[in-house]
A and B are shown apart, each in its own frame.
Chain A
Amino acid sequence: MSNFWSLWITVITFIVIFGSLWLLIANRNTEVKGDLEEGEIPKTGHVYDGIEEYENPLPAWWFWMFIGSAVFALVYLLLYPGLGNYKGLLNWTQEKQLQEQVEIANQTLNKQYSAYAATAIADLAADPSALRMGRRIFNNNCSVCHGIGGTGANGFPNLSDSDWQYGGTPEQIVQSITLGRQAIMPAWGAVLGEQGIIDVSDYIMSLGGRDFDSQRAARGAGHYQTFCVACHAADGAGMQALGAPNLADNIWLYNQADTSLVENVRHSIRNGRNGSMPSHGDKLRPEKIHLISAYVYSLSQTNQ
């Protein structure tokens, strides 16, 4: 706030407060001319459009309540920010109040979290209250991609099955959440050519137990053993260290519903895939990640 407006507000505030006080005190008494005649009802002498005011004095405690509220306002303005740029004697700010409240909330939460943080994830996965907390944190932070039950979506892995792209042990789950994951499936379109892509896709269909053309699959097997085997392994089991998915379990990460599965697979081979799990170590405190991991771990344990 510029000095002018700060001064403007201060001056107006004081004019209003002291003006009200002056108005109140100056009009405390009124003078009436003439003696009160016998039987006459006392009036204040105030006349408005011929309407006269009877003398019905207000209780004195009203007067003192008015004075009290003016005094309160002055003390308040002295202690708290209110007069333009003046900071107030207490140095109160919204930010400080927020910080204090967050601090208090954290202390309460720490008590709850610390009990869970000391317990192993595998044990937490059997604790309903820990799972309830974990599920809430999961639903707030993870369900945007992985769905409210962790069932995943096209391009986002299903966390409730026992198929893991990067490993499903508690430690691996914690690592995936904390550091994030970055998949690198290169584009093979230029290398394989369109026919090569079709052949490889048929071979992959055969690995996954889907319908396939055996001639094309046989040709595709050759390409597979040359280009794909390094990451996806000879039997298509994949490699969790690299995040190369298992191609032989009929679970498909990229399976857009408006095209057929084989078209989806061909797209993956042709253009590559760069699935990315963002890191949450900087967004969520370790105790929360611990609880989320327990919840995710429990999903894979119950939904075998």
Chain B
Amino acid sequence: MDKKPSPELENPRPEVKAEHNEVIRVLNLYQTADKIYTRRLEGFYRSVRRWAWMPMLAGYFLIPWLSIDGRQAVWFDLAERNFYIFSITLWPQDLPFLAALLIISAFALFTITNLLGRVWCGFSCPQTVWTGIFIAIEDWFEGDRNKRIKLDAQPWSIDKFSRKAAVQFFWILFSFITGLTFVGYFNPIRELVPDLFHLAISAAALFWTLLFTALTWANAGFMREQICLYVCPYARFQSVMFDSDTLIVSYNQDRGEQRGARKRDAIRRDAIKSHENSQELGLGDCVDCTLCVQVCPTGIDIRDGLQYECISCGLCIDACNAVMEKMHYPPGLIDFTTENTLKNGTAFRWLRPRLVAYSTVLALLCGLFIYQLSVRIPLEVDIVRDRTQLYRTTPEGQVENSYLLKINNMDQQDHRYKISVQTVGEIAEQQFIYRGQSEVEVAEGEVIEMLVRLEIPQQMILRSNTEVEFLVTSTTTPTLTNSEISRFLAPVKAVNRD
């Protein structure tokens, strides 16, 4: 796992001669990494990657434009503290769902990592996807790897300037669309975009749009693999999720070494001749073309073994397989394979403790999450007993308690609720008279407060403290019901009679 610096990347270091003719090398402990110029090569994993991220990217850009009943279908309304996710409205009190979702995501990541290695990084991480798009823009205006290296080495000219300007223009444009879409998840995008063109966008929305534009631009344009190497924690703790049966991008050292270049005419011969040729030279299958290094988005040499920089994108596999084909060698010198397969030739093992444990936990959590979401009642009832008085006696000789009843309609439609009261525990030995509205209309997403009172004639009081349950039920959907328990306090001693 340790990084062995490849000779290519080493910077020349200043050397000074000491008094005793001893060489002293001065090392700079902070160094700007060399820009990585990736070579574009088509292949199987590149197309897999494209099919993996394209739907996700389309989802990211299009989801905010969906609407249900005239409201944005996915809308995180921070001002009103409501998250609308299609047919579900989540309230601040639903925060456990968010926590559960994060835990599920973490376990899904563990499971996938244990099974397939860091495929998230290579095939779907936004960092990889956006970097890929930015490189494609570069490629479009500046040409492939060699042309880009040459262009950067050139002095400034009108041609270089116009190419660089075009790249910057499209980078910023794409960043801006990204930022605007992101803000569109929090501010309705169908108002945000017209507001932008009418210059009526709110200062806060503009600030966040520009901030995310700037961050996207800096991230995908310049930071790129630096984020994966130095910022993202995933690379650093991947080793705890790996085992010997995890699929990793690996170079078959036994087959590849001794690496080395060979005569070109050998290439044109058939498979057997090609193989014979390399055997004569005492060489393995690696022709040391360094294409695997040139296509790598993090600039590593996969032949040095598994490294934390490797994002498992498989582009080196594509590059190597293309070369193997030309050489009439079998493909798979670099391949998605496991340590066990590579060393011992054993088949892929599904039943291993870690994978079973991860997937069991994941399945349990998913089941629990879906169950909880399906039994969630979008109705909250809160009862606040009058905090200042235990009870009140009315001129008619009744004892009365006051309550503030709060009904929160968390559903996506208006409801009419029926309110009833019952004593908890023993069968209604004390009959309370309910004073207040018995039915109430609450609009979607509204909280209403209403004053209700319970009364009981003094002679019927049996206990000083009775638990009472306030039951709120939708008149149209009887399953939409919730209740809250409070207390009725009364003087037990029969008093206040003339």
Q: Are B453 and A149 in contact (CB under 8 A)?
A: yes
Give the distance in Å from the alpha carbon of A147 to the alpha carbon of B388 in the complex: 7
Least CB distance, B404 to chain A, in whole angstroms: 5
Kindly specify which of B19-27, B68-76, B352-360 makes contact with the partner chain: B19-27
Q: Are A211 and B32 in contact (CB under 8 A)?
A: no
For A152, list chain B residues within 8 Å (CB): 392
Closest to A144 in B: B388
Q: Are A147 and B402 in contact (CB under 8 A)?
A: yes
Q: Are A59 and B32 in contact (CB under 8 A)?
A: yes
Q: Which listed residue, A56, A143, A145, A151, touches B392 by the CB 8 Å rule? A: A151
Interface 1/0 per residue, B353-392 and A, CB below 8 Å? 0000000000000000000000000000000101111011
A17 within 8 Å of B by Cβ?
A: no
Kindly specify which of A5-13, A35-43, A118-126 makes contact with the partner chain: A35-43
Q: Are B25 and A259 in contact (CB under 8 A)?
A: no
Q: Are A153 and B24 in contact (CB under 8 A)?
A: no
For B477, list chain A residues within 8 Å (CB): none
Closest to A42 in B: B5
Closest to B404 in A: A148
Give the distance in Å from the alpha carbon of A15 to the alpha carbon of B395 in the complex: 76
B30 within 8 Å of A by Cβ?
A: yes
For B229, list chain A residues within 8 Å (CB): 59
Given the known inter-chain contacts A31-B25, A31-B26, A258-B491, please indicate yes or no for A59 contacting B31, CB distance below 8 A. yes
A63 within 8 Å of B by Cβ?
A: yes
Q: Are A210 and B29 in contact (CB under 8 A)?
A: no
Q: Which listed residue, A56, A59, A257, touches B496 by the CB 8 Å rule? A: A257
Q: Are A143 and B386 in contact (CB under 8 A)?
A: yes
Q: Are A62 and B30 in contact (CB under 8 A)?
A: yes
Give the distance in Å from the alpha carbon of A262 to the alpha carbon of B404 in the complex: 32
B493 within 8 Å of A by Cβ?
A: yes
Q: Are A54 and B2 in contact (CB under 8 A)?
A: yes
For B497, list chain A residues within 8 Å (CB): 260
Given the known inter-chain contacts A34-B23, A143-B386, A143-B388, please indicate yes or no for A149 contacting B402, CB distance below 8 A. yes
B28 within 8 Å of A by Cβ?
A: yes
Give the distance in Å from the alpha carbon of A29 to the alpha carbon of B493 in the complex: 88
Q: Are B495 and A260 in contact (CB under 8 A)?
A: yes
Q: Are B2 and A151 in contact (CB under 8 A)?
A: no
Interface 1/0 per residue, A55-75 and B, CB below 8 Å? 111111111000000000000
A192 within 8 Å of B by Cβ?
A: no
Residue of A139, A205, A211 with most partner-chain B CB within 10 A:
A139
A237 within 8 Å of B by Cβ?
A: no
B24-64, CB < 8 A from A: 24-33
Residue of B30, B31, B393, B497 with most partner-chain A CB within 10 A:
B30
A251 within 8 Å of B by Cβ?
A: yes
Q: Are B27 and A257 in contact (CB under 8 A)?
A: no
Given the known inter-chain contacts A42-B5, A260-B497, please indicate yes or no for A30 contacting B392, CB distance below 8 A. no
Interface 1/0 per residue, B310-335 and A, CB below 8 Å? 00000000000000000000000000
A to B contact number (C-beta, < 8 Å):
126
Q: Are B449 and A135 in contact (CB under 8 A)?
A: yes
Given the known inter-chain contacts A152-B392, A153-B392, please indicate yes or no for A31 contacting B27, CB distance below 8 A. yes
B498 within 8 Å of A by Cβ?
A: yes
Given the known inter-chain contacts A29-B26, A60-B31, please indicate yes or no for A250 contacting B230, CB distance below 8 A. no
For A30, list chain B residues within 8 Å (CB): 26-27, 29
Give the distance in Å from the alpha carbon of A151 to the alpha carbon of B402 in the complex: 8
B236 within 8 Å of A by Cβ?
A: no
Q: Are A28 and B30 in contact (CB under 8 A)?
A: yes
Q: Are A57 and B31 in contact (CB under 8 A)?
A: yes
Give the distance in Å from the alpha carbon of A211 to the alpha carbon of B496 in the complex: 13
Give the distance in Å from the alpha carbon of A261 to the alpha carbon of B497 in the complex: 7
Interface 1/0 per residue, A128-144 and B, CB below 8 Å? 00001001000100011
For B30, list chain A residues within 8 Å (CB): 28, 57-60, 62-63
Closest to B493 in A: A258
Least CB distance, A165 to chain B, in whole angstroms: 15
A147-186, CB < 8 A from B: 147-149, 151-153
Q: Are A145 and B388 in contact (CB under 8 A)?
A: yes
For A113, list chain B residues within 8 Å (CB): none
Residue of A59, A145, A258 with most partner-chain B CB within 10 A:
A59
Given the known inter-chain contacts A44-B27, A58-B29, A258-B491, please indicate yes or no for A148 contacting B496, CB distance below 8 A. no
Interface 1/0 per residue, B399-410 and A, CB below 8 Å? 110111000000
A94 within 8 Å of B by Cβ?
A: no
For B22, list chain A residues within 8 Å (CB): 33-34
For A255, list chain B residues within 8 Å (CB): 393, 496
B226 within 8 Å of A by Cβ?
A: yes
B4 within 8 Å of A by Cβ?
A: yes
Q: Are A257 and B395 in contact (CB under 8 A)?
A: no
B388-431, CB < 8 A from A: 388-389, 391-393, 395, 399-400, 402-404
Closest to B448 in A: A132
Least CB distance, A292 to chain B, in whole angstroms: 15
Q: Are B491 and A257 in contact (CB under 8 A)?
A: yes
Q: Are B226 and A61 in contact (CB under 8 A)?
A: yes
For B18, list chain A residues within 8 Å (CB): 33
Given the known inter-chain contacts A205-B498, A257-B393, please indicate yes or no for A55 contacting B27, CB distance below 8 A. yes
Give the distance in Å from the alpha carbon of A261 to the alpha carbon of B397 in the complex: 10
Give the distance in Å from the alpha carbon of A59 to the alpha carbon of B298 in the complex: 14
Interface 1/0 per residue, A252-266 and B, CB below 8 Å? 100101111110000
For B395, list chain A residues within 8 Å (CB): 250-252
Least CB distance, A141 to chain B, in whole angstroms: 12
B289 within 8 Å of A by Cβ?
A: no
A selection of 29 A-B contacts at a CB cut-off of 8 Å is: A27-B29, A28-B30, A29-B27, A31-B27, A32-B24, A33-B24, A34-B23, A35-B23, A36-B25, A42-B27, A55-B27, A56-B5, A58-B29, A58-B30, A59-B30, A59-B32, A59-B226, A144-B388, A145-B388, A148-B404, A149-B451, A151-B402, A153-B388, A252-B395, A255-B393, A260-B496, A260-B498, A261-B498, A262-B498
Known pairs A31-B27, A147-B388, A260-B497. 8 more at Cβ < 8 A?
A29-B26, A30-B29, A36-B25, A42-B5, A139-B404, A143-B386, A153-B389, A257-B393
The 9 closest A-B pairs by CB, nearest first: A63-B30, A57-B31, A149-B451, A60-B32, A35-B23, A32-B25, A60-B30, A211-B498, A148-B386
